[in-house]
Amino acid sequence: MDIKEIRKQLPNGAGREIAKMSGVNYDTVQRFLRGVETKENLKLIEFTADYLKSYKEKKATAIGKLQAVASA
């Protein structure tokens, strides 16, 4: 797993949202997303995975709605 590649898939502001969800300091989340090993890595991997999954699902739903409206 390359966190830098995953970071490219995250939208702007994702670090702050992951920090809120996980209860981990924002600066620690930023270091994690830059690929620096932190003591919160396992926790941040889990919350980042949850956030990215939710984001992709919402994005796919929104795109589907937009395409339905555009083609109507």
Q: Per-residue DSSP letters for 32-70?
A: HHTT---TTHHHHHHHHHHHHHHHHHHHHHHHHHHHHHH
Instruction: Give the single-character DSSP code of 10.
Output: S
Spell out the per-residue pLDDT of the chain, length 72, in tens. Answer: 789 899 999 999 999 999 999 999 999 999 999 999 999 999 999 999 999 999 999 999 999 999 999 987
Q: What is the pLDDT of residue 4?
A: 87
Taking a C-beta distance cutoff of 8 angstroms, is the pair 22, 43 a contact? yes
Unique residue bearing structure tokens 């709605």? 65
Q: What is the pLDDT of residue 53?
A: 97
